Amino acid sequence: MTKFILRRMGISFLVLLGGSLLLFVLTINSGDPIEDLRESNADNRDYLIRQRTAYMGLDQPWYSRYWEWLTGAAKCVTLNCDLGTNRNGVEVTSLLGNAASSTLRLVVLATVLAIVIGITVGILTAIRQYSGFDYVVTFLAFLFFSLPVFWAAVLLKEYGAIRFNDWIVEPTFTPLQILVTAGLLGIAVQAVMGGDLKRRALTAGATLVFVGAVMYYFSAVEWFRRPAFGAVLILVVGVAAAVGITALLAGLKNRKVMWSALTTVGAGLAVYFAFLPVLREPTWLSLLAILALVVVLGAVSGWFWGGYSRRLAMGVSVAVGVVMAFLIVVDRAVAGWMGLLSLKSRPISTIGSQTPNFTGDFWESFLDKGVQIILPTIVLTLVSVASYTRYTRSSMLEVLEQDYVRTARSKGLSERVVIVKHAFRNALIPITTIVAFDFAGLIGGAIITEQVFGWKGMGELFQTGLKTVDPAPVMAFFLVTGTAAVLMNLAADLAYAGLDPRIRR
C-alpha cells in the first residue's frame, strides 16, 4: 500500500507540473499585460510601465518567470508559500488565503450536503424502483442536472433574498399558504413512505395536520422574528436522532447500543447546561473543545454499554454526539437571530459573503456569514445532488441483483442488514470516484456562482488574472484546484481499499 501511495503521488506530481507549465504559457500569451498603460496619457506612464514590468518580471524570459513561480510554490510544502506578486505589487499569497477560505467554506458545505442528500435519495429510489417516488426523483434529478447555474442563482436572489427580506418584516402565513404547503408536504411524505392506499392516506393526512399546526403556531407567535429552540427541543431531536441512527446501523433490538446512544444524548444535554455561560459568547476554539468533549463522552458511553457490540456502540454514540454538538450550536445561533435583525433589518444580502464592517457579537457575526452562504450553497448542491442520486441508484440496483444479496435474504437477514451491510458498502465503490472529481470540479464551477452572488473567492481571483493577463493569480488558482483534485483522487484510491479488501492486493 505504501508503494502504491508513493507511486500515485509521483504520477500526480508530474501531472501537476505539466499542467502548471501549460497553463502558465497559455496565460502569458493570451494578451499584453501592459496594453492599458501603453494607451494611457498619464504623465508618469513610463514609470508605471517600468513598475509593472518589475512586479510581473516582464523583463525576464518566460522560463525564468515560470521557474521563479515553481520554486516559490514548492515552498508550500513547508507552509512558507511564495507565489509572487500580482501586477499591482500585492502579495498573491495573501490574496489566495482570503479567496481560498471563502470558496472552500462554500464548496465543502455544498459537497457534504450533496453527498448526504444524493446518496440517501439514491438508495431510496433504488429500493423503490419504478414507484411514483422514483419517477419524481428521476425527473427532478435530470432537471437539476441540466439547470443553468446562473439562472438558478438569479431566481434564488429574487425569492430567497429580496422577497424573503420583505416577508421577514411581518413573517406570517395566510391560510392558503398553510394549506398549500402542508398539502404538498403531505403528498411528498406519503410518496417517500409508500405502502397501501390506506397507509398513504393516513401518512398524508397526519403530515398535513402536523405541518399545518406548526405553520399556524409559527405565524401566530411570529417565530421567524423571535425564534426559540431550547433544551426541550434539543432533547427531543437528540432522542429522535439516537433512535434513528441506532435503527439504521444496529437495529432497535440491540438494547446495549440503544442505551449507549441515549446516554450520549443525556451527556450532551449535561454539557449544554454546564457550558451555557461559555456558549453565550464563545470562540471557535471553545466550540471545537465542546464538540470534542461530547464526542469523547459518546465514545466512553459506547465502550461502557457496548458489551459484545462495543465497537458498533462506540460508532453510533460518536455519531449521536456529533448531532448533539450540532444541536447545541443551532440553539445558540437561533437565540442570536433577534440580535441580527436589530443590526440588519434585511438579513440576506444579494452581494458578498458577509456584511462589511459588521459590529455584532460572535453569534450575530456567525449568523451574518451563515445566511450569506445559504443561497450559493443551494445552487451548488442542486447541481451536484442530481449526479449523486443517479449514480447511487444505478450502483445500488446493480448490487441488489448480485448473488450474495439474494443469499443474504435467503438466510433470513433483515432488509436493513441486507441494504446497509451488504449492498450499500459495495455500491459505494463507484460513487467514491464521483465524490473525488466532484469536489475539485465544484471549486472551478463555483466561479459562476461567486460572480452572481458577488463573492470575493477563487473565481474572482482567476477571472481577474485572466482579464489582466497576470499569471500569478491564475497559477494560484491552479495550485489550489489541482492539489485538491490530486488529494481527492488519492483519498478515493484509499477508500477503494477500505471498501473492498481485494483492491489492497
pLDDT value at position 149?
A: 81
Q: If you average pLDDT over every residue of the chain, what do you get?
A: 87
Q: Are residues 285 and 331 in the same domain?
A: yes
pLDDT one-digit tens code per residue, 332-359 = 999 999 999 989 888 998 887 788 888 8
Q: What is the Cα–Cα distance from 1 to 500, expressed in whole angstroms?
A: 14
Which helix or strand (DSSP H or E) is residue 54 part of? Answer: helix 45-56
Position 324 in a domain: yes
Q: What is the Cα–Cα distance from 466 to 455, expressed in whole angstroms?
A: 18
- Least Cα distance to 341 among 320, 362, 316, 368 occurs for 368
Which residues, in sequence order, are CB contacts of 278 under 8 Å at separation 6+? 286, 290
- Find the mean pLDDT for residues 33-49: 83
Contact (CB, 8 A) for 271 and 332 = no
Q: Note the pTM of the prediction, 2 decimals.
A: 0.83
For residue 209, what are the CA distances in angstroms to 192, 236, 360? 18, 20, 39
Cell of 160: 430567497
pLDDT one-digit tens code per residue, 122-146 = 998 998 888 878 888 888 888 888 8
- Find the mean pLDDT for residues 165-193: 90
pLDDT value at position 430?
A: 79
What DSSP character marks residue 253? Answer: T
Of 318, 344, 370, the domain-final residue: 344
Contact (CB, 8 A) for 347 and 371 = yes
pLDDT value at position 288?
A: 94
Q: Does the pLDDT of residue 505 top 60, yes or no?
A: no
Q: Are residues 238 and 312 in the same domain?
A: yes
- 91 phi, psi to nearest 5 deg: -60, 125
Position 505 in a domain: no
Q: Are residues 278 and 330 in the same domain?
A: yes
Position 133 in a domain: no
pLDDT band at residue 500 under the 50/70/90 scheme: low
Q: Are residues 195 and 276 in the same domain?
A: no
Q: Are residues 239 and 313 in the same domain?
A: yes
Query: Whole domain around residue 258: which residue ranges?
Result: 228-344
Q: Are residues 256 and 214 in the same domain?
A: no
| Number of domains into which the chain is organized | 2
Q: Are residues 205 and 238 in the same domain?
A: no
Q: Does the pLDDT of residue 454 top 60, yes or no?
A: yes
Position 189 in a domain: yes
- Find the mean pLDDT for residues 463-483: 88
pLDDT value at position 445?
A: 67
pLDDT band at residue 53 under the 50/70/90 scheme: confident
Q: What is the Cα–Cα distance from 350 to 325, expressed in whole angstroms?
A: 30
Query: Which of helix, strand or coil describes residue 218?
Result: helix
Contact (CB, 8 A) for 238 and 268 = yes
pLDDT value at position 102?
A: 81
Among 191-195, 221-225, 264-268, 387-391, the range of highest mean pLDDT? 264-268
Residue 77: CB atoms within 10 Å? 8
Q: What is the Cα–Cα distance from 428 to 301, expressed in whole angstroms?
A: 29
Position 303 in a domain: yes
Beta bridge partner(s), residue 85: 91
pLDDT value at position 309?
A: 85
Q: Are residues 185 and 288 in the same domain?
A: no
Instruction: Give CA 243 to chain center in angstroms.
Output: 25
Task: Give the amino acid at 329.
Answer: V
pLDDT value at position 74?
A: 87
Q: Are residues 199 and 265 in the same domain?
A: no
Residue with the larger pLDDT of the pair 53 and 445? 53
Q: Are residues 210 and 275 in the same domain?
A: no
Of 344, 371, 389, the domain-final residue: 344
pLDDT band at residue 1 under the 50/70/90 scheme: low
Position 61 in a domain: no
> What whole-number percentage of the chain has pLDDT above 90?
33
Lowest mean pLDDT among 158-167, 205-214, 316-325, 488-497: 488-497
- Find the mean pLDDT for residues 27-54: 85
Q: Are residues 204 and 238 in the same domain?
A: no
Instruction: Give CA 69 to chain center in angstroms.
Output: 32
Q: What angle do CA 379, 384, 390 make, to 5 degrees?
A: 135
Cell of 103: 470558496
pLDDT value at position 191?
A: 80
Query: Which of helix, strand or coil describes residue 345?
Result: coil
For residue 165, what are the CA distances in angstroms to 367, 413, 438? 15, 52, 33
User: Which segments of 221-283 does DSSP mark as H helices, in order?
Assistant: 230-249, 255-274, 276-280
pLDDT value at position 326?
A: 95
Lowest mean pLDDT among 21-25, 72-76, 269-273, 289-293: 72-76
Q: Does the pLDDT of residue 504 top 70, yes or no?
A: no
For residue 395, what are the CA distances in angstroms to 29, 161, 389, 414? 45, 38, 10, 21
pLDDT band at residue 415 under the 50/70/90 scheme: confident
pLDDT value at position 444?
A: 67
- Inter-helix orientation angle 424-453/471-499, to 10°: 160
Q: Grid cell 510581473 — which residue?
A: 56
Q: Does the pLDDT of residue 331 top 90, yes or no?
A: yes
pLDDT one-digit tens code per residue, 190-228 = 887 777 888 889 999 999 999 999 999 999 988 999 898
Position 194 in a domain: yes
Contact (CB, 8 A) for 328 and 290 = yes
